[in-house]
Structure 1
Amino acid sequence: MEFDYFRSNDNIQNNQNRQNLLASGWRPLQRDLDWGFLWQLLSNDSQELTQRSLNIASNLAEILGRNNYAWWANLLSLVSENTRYEIEKYWNYITPDPQSPDHRYKDIISTETPILQFVSRNSIPIDYVLNRLQEITVLRLLEVLGRPDIITQYHSEREFYYPVEKFINWERIDVINTVYAYWSKHDVWLQAETYDRGRRQYTLMSRNISPLVNKATQDLAVMLSGYQSRVGKVFSQFPIRTFPADIQSFTDTVQQAILNQNQLAVVVHGEPGTGKTAWTQAVAKEILVPLGYVIFILDHDAITNFVPPTYLERICIIINEADNLAQNRAFEVAQYSNKTEHILSLLDGTLYQSVIDEAGIHLKQRLVVLMTCNTTERLDPAMLRKGRVDLIYEFTQRFV
């Protein structure tokens, strides 16, 4: 009795979910006969096809041939739930399955939404902001992709589809089990799943999703600095053309290097008020953002734990007051911090490229690092070694 009770409750819940799906616009997916698929079954699995065909024919003949029931009762048995289940099972065997994601795709980007923030007064982990960036990227990707070609969902042993002409946005799509969507133009699959309290996970899969990621992350900037951490856009108060002529000329050199090199590190130094920080913001907004770079502005605490996201193809890192960060390790004060080693590894690319994960997107990342400091005398000599810092320039005129 207990088993029947739970099974009855499951049936009630499944019926309610099915009614909810139908009420929210989903429709049962009718599987069409495909003669090419049927021929493949006949050619490659004729024994199984024959056996299943004989079984369904035998079941139907047994129902129609029963002598202890009236003829009309036998006809009613043909449309009973058990008979319909057997017929649907056979029909699903001789018809092709609906399209489903190719899980061999290597380009995968996923997010849970909305992102939950776990913080304390003592620390704000940078993971939240980086997860928020990934959430924004995936949601923007869905906006870029627009209306999919197909939307399907499997529930209670039945396939459902959502009429794409009624699609408005993903917030309005009712997700009970797992929803799949496909964009043939971009060869991109979406897998959407739901969690408690209305949270969802979106996973995008493709052979090459990086062009779409570049488009979705256009103009994004991230500040990682304690309670000021946020995802937004770069703000620049002073255009490059307002800087002194020598700095404008140096900026032209930097721009050419950005176009020619996959990795570039620039150090600008000078007394406070000479416009070093304002210059990095202007370069980020006027040069790097139009080229598709995502800007990361890191404080001294964030640099210790920062690893560039692998799904981004072009990254710019701005580090202000680098002379207080990458200090000469010959000085006693620098021996109590590993920040110098972290920046050196970041400039070398060894920190995050030494091990490549088997899953996810792997790109030949382009990296630009812009650093400001009051003086280069306190910087570790290893930072200024050729191959790590490419361009150094001194700002001498009072600007701000």
Structure 2
Amino acid sequence: MEFDYFGQHEGSPVNNNRQSLLASGWRPFHREFDWKFLGQLMLHDTQELTQKSLNLASSIAETLGRNNYAWWANLLNIVSENTRYEVEKFWNYITPDPLTPDYRYKDVLNTDTPITQFVSRNSIPIDYVLNRLQEITVMRVLKLLGRPDVITQYYLERSFYFPVEKFVNWERIDVINTVYAYWSKDDVWLQIDPYDRGRRHYSLMAKNLSPLINKATYDLAIMLSGYQSRVGKVQSQFMIRSFPEDIQHFTDIVQQAVLNQNQLAVLVHGKPGTGKTAWTQAVAKEILVSLGFVIFILDHDAIANFVPPTYLERICIIINEADNLAQDRASEVAQHSNKTEHILSLLDGTLYQSVVEDSGMQMQQRLVVLMTCNTTERLDPAMLRKGRVDLMYEFTHLFI
């Protein structure tokens, strides 16, 4: 049994939108009868079911029993728009609704797309790159999920579905109202809401998105450095085995500590040209990326505006020339900056863990901080306290 009601005049904007949906591959969703669902209504909503049944029967009887029309006119009126609308309302009541997301799911990841960059006092380039990272993550997750089991769209009191066998990509899906998609294997929902000028808002919902996000963010590196900020992959000019033996041995210690600790801070120091920055890049590329860490390379300005994204499980932060950042607060130069306090809070984890969000994704993050400096003499003493910097090493061989 199927009902199809639109109730719009030909040529109206709403009707044109419906035609656009049908022309782009969407099809009306026909609700199917379910004896189990009807049984639940009879058991738990008896009064409402009885009332709606009597109302429908009364409406049909009134249409058939009109005295001022011929019997055949009354019979034709049964298929009129008004009567069909009443029948469809009843049919929608006694049949189950199309599947919709479970908004109680704990893990939610959102993004607007395409991301637009606005440079102003209230929107710095770092914000754009972090939003771009979130957009890339969502799109990579969707690519990993592949073709969904169902795609639906509700418009003008009517549900439509898109045949999944015709699905190519999300950019080619026509979105007029809210679109839902579901992957039963991973128990993941997608909600797409349209914005103006072709922009869209994507929301992923699941009981556990972490495995998919970890796969989606593999091999990603983010440079946060003013107008040079960008998302890409970490590059390393030198291999770890090209460093002196003592540094290779220290690298083995660092690797073991990464495996054993949820939070690790490493500081390497030495004269310019001893390969400190090259070493951090080599460790990031050969060790941390392979372990699933997302690499963030921060300059001194980015430190003051950076909070590790909560949806990432493994994060590595690289800070070069830390002696120009976390300077001794007793010095006159450091008193004109709060960067020392910021990096100390970052190392403690208190900066972004002091308040836990009541929505969105929350997970036990693993954080690795790799720092370089020319000398430790200018560093604030609090930096070198036990529990902040776990491993230190001096590079003494000229490498470059």
Query: TM-score w.r.t. structure 1 length?
Result: 0.96
**Alignment deviations for residues 357-393 of structure 1 (CA, whole Å, 9 cap, x no partner):** 1010001000000000001111111011010100000
Q: Kindly state the Cα deviation for residue 113 of structure 1 after the two structures are TM-superposed.
A: 0.3
Quickly say closer, same or farther: Cα 1:13–1:122, change in 2 above 3 A. closer
State yes or no: 1:48 paired with 2:48: yes
Which residue is 2:213 aligned to? 213
Amino acid corresponding to residue 181 of structure 1 in structure 2:
A
Which residue is 2:203 aligned to? 203
Which residue is 2:25 aligned to? 25
Paired with 2:169 and 2:75, the residues of 1 have a C-alpha distance of 45
Which residue is 2:88 aligned to? 88
Which residue is 1:254 aligned to? 254
Paired with 1:281 and 1:81, the residues of 2 have a C-alpha distance of 69
* Unaligned runs of at least 5 residues, structure 1: 1-6
Task: Provide the secondary structure at the position in 2 that maps to 1:291.
Answer: coil
Amino acid corresponding to residue 105 of structure 1 in structure 2:
Y
State yes or no: 1:73 paired with 2:82: no
Paired with 1:113 and 1:184, the residues of 2 have a C-alpha distance of 25
Q: Kindly state the Cα deviation for residue 317 of structure 1 after the two structures are TM-superposed.
A: 0.3
- Do the aligned partners of 2:320 and 2:371 also contact (CA within 8 Å) in 1? yes
Q: Mean alpha-carbon deviation: is it higher for 259-268 or for 328-337? A: 328-337
**Alignment deviations for residues 207-245 of structure 1 (CA, whole Å, 9 cap, x no partner):** 110111101000011001011100000011101111111
Task: Provide the secondary structure at the position in 2 that maps to 1:315.
Answer: strand
State yes or no: 1:238 paired with 2:238: yes
Which residue is 2:117 aligned to? 117
Amino acid corresponding to residue 243 of structure 2 in structure 1:
F
Q: Mean alpha-carbon deviation: is it higher for 205-214 or for 62-71? A: 62-71
Amino acid corresponding to residue 19 of structure 1 in structure 2:
Q
Paired with 2:72 and 2:14, the residues of 1 have a C-alpha distance of 31
Equivalent runs, 1:285-300 vs 2, <5 Å:
285-300=285-300
- Do the aligned partners of 2:115 and 2:131 also contact (CA within 8 Å) in 1? yes
Task: Provide the secondary structure at the position in 2 that maps to 1:140.
Answer: helix
Quickly say closer, same or farther: Cα 1:114–1:379, change in 2 above 3 A. same
Paired with 1:207 and 1:123, the residues of 2 have a C-alpha distance of 32
Quickly say closer, same or farther: Cα 1:156–1:278, change in 2 above 3 A. same
Which residue is 2:363 aligned to? 363
* Unaligned runs of at least 5 residues, structure 2: 1-6
Task: Provide the secondary structure at the position in 2 that maps to 1:116.
Answer: coil
**Alignment deviations for residues 107-146 of structure 1 (CA, whole Å, 9 cap, x no partner):** 0000000011001599843111100110111111110111
Amino acid corresponding to residue 193 of structure 1 in structure 2:
D
- Do the aligned partners of 2:9 and 2:15 also contact (CA within 8 Å) in 1? no
- Do the aligned partners of 1:266 and 1:369 also contact (CA within 8 Å) in 2? yes
Quickly say closer, same or farther: Cα 1:128–1:332, change in 2 above 3 A. same
Which residue is 1:343 aligned to? 343
Amino acid corresponding to residue 224 of structure 1 in structure 2:
L
Quickly say closer, same or farther: Cα 1:160–1:123, change in 2 above 3 A. closer
Q: Kindly state the Cα deviation for residue 67 of structure 1 after the two structures are TM-superposed.
A: 2.5
- Do the aligned partners of 2:125 and 2:227 also contact (CA within 8 Å) in 1? no
Which residue is 1:126 aligned to? 126
Paired with 1:160 and 1:313, the residues of 2 have a C-alpha distance of 37
Task: Provide the secondary structure at the position in 2 that maps to 1:101.
Answer: coil
Q: Kindly state the Cα deviation for residue 72 of structure 1 after the two structures are TM-superposed.
A: 2.5
Paired with 1:168 and 1:51, the residues of 2 have a C-alpha distance of 45
Task: Provide the secondary structure at the position in 2 that maps to 1:290.
Answer: coil
Query: TM-score w.r.t. structure 2 length?
Result: 0.96
Paired with 1:42 and 1:110, the residues of 2 have a C-alpha distance of 39
Number of residue equivalences:
394
- Do the aligned partners of 2:125 and 2:229 also contact (CA within 8 Å) in 1? no
Q: Kindly state the Cα deviation for residue 64 of structure 1 after the two structures are TM-superposed.
A: 1.6
Which residue is 1:4 aligned to? none
Equivalent runs, 1:41-190 vs 2, <5 Å:
41-119=41-119, 124-190=124-190
Quickly say closer, same or farther: Cα 1:348–1:97, change in 2 above 3 A. same
Paired with 1:212 and 1:296, the residues of 2 have a C-alpha distance of 20
Task: Provide the secondary structure at the position in 1 that maps to 2:105.
Answer: coil
- Do the aligned partners of 1:123 and 1:226 also contact (CA within 8 Å) in 2? no
Paired with 1:247 and 1:66, the residues of 2 have a C-alpha distance of 97
Paired with 1:261 and 1:56, the residues of 2 have a C-alpha distance of 67
Paired with 1:264 and 1:186, the residues of 2 have a C-alpha distance of 32
Paired with 2:76 and 2:343, the residues of 1 have a C-alpha distance of 77
- Do the aligned partners of 2:114 and 2:199 also contact (CA within 8 Å) in 1? yes
- Do the aligned partners of 1:323 and 1:378 also contact (CA within 8 Å) in 2? yes
Which residue is 1:3 aligned to? none
Quickly say closer, same or farther: Cα 1:201–1:121, change in 2 above 3 A. closer
Task: Provide the secondary structure at the position in 2 that maps to 1:181.
Answer: strand
Task: Provide the secondary structure at the position in 1 that maps to 2:397.
Answer: coil
State yes or no: 1:398 paired with 2:360: no
Quickly say closer, same or farther: Cα 1:375–1:10, change in 2 above 3 A. farther
**Alignment deviations for residues 320-377 of structure 1 (CA, whole Å, 9 cap, x no partner):** 0000000011111111110000000000000100100101000100000000000111
Q: Kindly state the Cα deviation for residue 100 of structure 1 after the two structures are TM-superposed.
A: 0.5
**Alignment deviations for residues 81-130 of structure 1 (CA, whole Å, 9 cap, x no partner):** 11111111000100111110011111000000001100159984311110
Quickly say closer, same or farther: Cα 1:29–1:386, change in 2 above 3 A. same
Which residue is 2:314 aligned to? 314
Q: Mean alpha-carbon deviation: is it higher for 63-72 or for 326-335? A: 63-72
Paired with 1:218 and 1:116, the residues of 2 have a C-alpha distance of 24
